[in-house]
C-alpha cells in the first residue's frame, strides 16, 4: 500500500546534541485528515521540517506519495504543500505576487499560475487585497495567504502547522470549512494544533508525539473510547438542596446550586442520572462536557 506519508525510524539529533526525534514511525493514508499532536518541543515541527526539507534528518526513511526523499526529493516535494506556523513570505511583495512567485518555484507557467492565484485568492476571500503589500494584511489574512500559496501547485498533501493560532473564532471556522472541502476533494490533510477540540471535530486519525516518540497512533474514535471517565456539567432550571446523592455516581453541586458535576465511568449509562433527577423533579436545561475529551487523553498520554 502506498501511503501519503510514510516515516520509518526517523531520528534527528541537533548539533548541540539534543535528540528531537528518537525513531519515529508514522503512516498517513491517502485522503486522511490526520492530526499530529504533542506538547511544545515534542518533535512535531522537527518532523514537519524534515518532510518539507527545512530540517536535515539524522537517519531513517521518509516517503511522500511513494517517493523516498533520499531518492528524489524534488519529486516528493511536488506532492507537498506547507502552511508553516510563522509568516514566511516576503512582506514587501504584493499578495498576488507572493502566490504567483511560489508557483514559479514549482515550474508552473505564469498563465496557469495567475488563473490558480485568482481561484484560491477568491476562495479564501483575499482577491480584493491582491495588489496590497502582504505586510499590510491582518493576521488572519496573512494565514489565508499562506494557505493560498501552499495550494498554488495543487499538492496531494497539505500540512498545516498550527494554522489557527491567534485567529478569531469566525475566521477559524471559515478556514476549517475550506480545509474540510479540500479534504473531501481528495487532498490529504495533516494538522498540528493546540486546539484539541479542532482535532477531535475534524480529524479521522491522530498521532501523539512526546519527547521525540510517538506515544499514540490510532483513529480519533478509538482513542476517545479509551476514556475511563467523563465529567458532565448539567445546568438546572432552579437551585437544588445539597443533601442528596445518586447511587453509583459521584455528583457535586456547583457554587450557584443550579448546576451539577457528574462523573460517568466507562460502561455506566447517564440515563440513570436523568431518571434519578426526574424522580426528584429536578429539571436539566442543558448539558456539556466539563473538559475536552481529547484534552484529557492528551494530558494522560503525555504524562505517561
Partner 1 sequence: MKNSEIWIAFYTILVREIRRYTRIWPQTLLPPAITMTLYFAIFGNLIGERIGEMGGFSYMQYIVPGLIMMSVITNSYSNVSSSFFSAKFQHSVQELLVSPTPNWVILLGYTLGGVSRGLCVGLTVTLLSLFFTHMALESLFLTIIVVCLTSVMFALGGFVNAIYARSFDDVSIVPTFILTPLTYLGGVFYSIDLLPDFWQSVSMLNPVLYMVNAFRYGVLGVSDINVYWALVIVCVFIVVLFSFSLRLLNQGKGIRS
Residue 82 vs 208, nearer CB to partner 1: 82
Quick check: 165 binds partner 1 (CB under 8 A)? no
Q: Helix or strand or coil: residue 98? A: helix
| 69 phi/psi in degrees, rounded to 5 | -65, -20
User: Is-contact 205 28, C-beta < 8 A?
Assistant: yes
Which residue from 30, 75, 180, 204 is in contact with partner 1, where contact means CB under 8 A?
A: 75
CB 53 within 8 A of CB 69: yes
- Please tell me whether residue 104 binds partner 1 under the rule CB under 8 A: yes
Residue (87 or 195) nearer to partner 1, CB: 87
The pattern of x and - marking residues 8 through 27 that bind partner 1 according to CB under 8 A reads ------x-------------
What distance in Å separates the CA atoms of residue 243 and residue 256, rounded to the nearest whole number?
A: 15
Select from 44, 77, 143, 293 the one that contacts partner 1 (CB under 8 A). 77
Q: Which is nearer to partner 1, 74 or 280 (CB)?
A: 74
Q: How many CB atoms lie within 10 A of CB 132?
A: 14
Q: Which is nearer to partner 1, 159 or 262 (CB)?
A: 159
Q: How far is CA 220 from CA 207, 243, 267, 293, in A?
A: 9, 39, 19, 11
* Dihedral angle of Cα 81, 86, 92, 96, to the nearest 10 degrees: 30
- Does 210 help bind partner 1 (rule: CB under 8 A)? no
Question: Which three three-digit cell numbers place residue 97?
Answer: 505576487
Q: Can you tell me which of 73, 127, 249, 274 binds partner 1, judged by CB under 8 A?
A: 73
Please spell the DSSP secondary structure of 138-186, one letter per residue. -HHHHHHHHHHHHHTT--SEEEEESTTTT--HHHHHHHHHHHHHHHHTT
109 is a contact residue toward partner 1 (CB under 8 A): yes
Mark residues 30-59: x for contact with partner 1 by CB under 8 A, - for none. Answer: ----------------x--x--xxxxx---
Applying CB under 8 A, which part among 28-36, 95-103, 189-197, 284-292 lies near partner 1?
95-103
Q: CA 28, CA 32: separation in Å to the nearest integer?
A: 7
Q: Quick check: 102 binds partner 1 (CB under 8 A)?
A: yes
Residues that bind partner 1 (CB under 8 A): 14, 46, 49, 52-56, 73-75, 77-78, 80, 82, 84, 86-92, 97, 101-102, 104-110, 149
Amino acid at each position: 500500500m502506498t501511503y501519503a506519508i510514510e516515516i520509518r525510524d526517523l531520528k534527528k539529533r541537533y548539533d548541540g546534541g539534543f535528540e528531537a526525534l528518537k525513531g519515529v514511525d508514522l503512516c498517513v493514508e491517502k485522503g486522511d485528515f490526520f492530526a499530529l499532536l504533542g506538547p511544545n518541543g515534542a518533535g512535531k515541527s522537527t518532523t514537519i521540517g524534515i518532510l518539507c526539507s527545512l530540517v536535515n534528518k539524522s537517519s531513517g526513511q521518509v516517503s511522500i506519495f511513494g517517493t523516498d526523499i533520499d531518492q528524489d526529493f524534488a519529486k516528493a516535494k511536488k506532492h507537498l504543500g506547507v502552511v508553516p506556523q510563522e509568516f514566511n513570505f516576503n512582506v514587501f511583495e504584493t499578495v498576488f505576487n507572493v502566490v504567483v512567485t511560489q508557483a514559479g518555484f514549482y515550474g508552473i507557467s505564469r498563465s496557469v499560475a495567475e488563473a490558480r492565484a485568482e481561484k484560491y485568492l477568491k476562495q479564501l476571500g483575499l482577491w480584493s487585497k491582491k495588489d496590497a503589500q502582504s505586510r499590510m494584511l491582518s493576521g488572519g489574512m496573512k494565514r489565508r495567504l499562506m494557505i493560498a500559496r501552499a495550494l498554488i501547485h495543487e499538492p496531494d498533501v497539505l500540512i498545516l502547522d498550527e494554522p489557527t493560532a491567534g485567529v478569531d473564532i469566525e475566521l477559524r471556522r471559515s478556514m476549517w470549512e475550506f480545509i474540510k472541502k479540500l479534504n473531501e476533494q481528495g487532498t490529504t490533510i495533516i494538522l498540528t494544533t493546540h486546539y484539541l477540540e479542532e482535532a477531535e471535530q475534524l480529524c479521522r486519525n491522530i498521532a501523539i508525539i512526546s519527547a521525540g516518540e510517538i506515544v499514540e497512533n490510532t483513529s480519533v474514535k478509538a482513542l476517545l473510547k479509551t476514556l475511563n471517565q467523563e465529567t458532565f456539567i448539567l445546568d438546572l432550571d432552579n437551585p437544588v438542596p445539597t443533601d442528596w446523592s445518586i447511587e453509583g455516581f459521584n455528583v457535586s453541586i456547583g457554587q450557584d446550586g443550579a448546576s451539577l458535576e457528574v462523573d460517568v465511568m466507562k460502561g455506566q449509562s447517564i440515563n440513570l442520572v436523568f431518571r434519578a433527577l426526574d424522580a426528584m423533579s429536578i429539571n436539566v436545561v442543558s448539558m456539556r462536557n466539563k473538559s475536552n475529551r481529547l484534552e484529557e487523553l492528551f494530558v494522560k498520554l503525555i504524562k505517561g
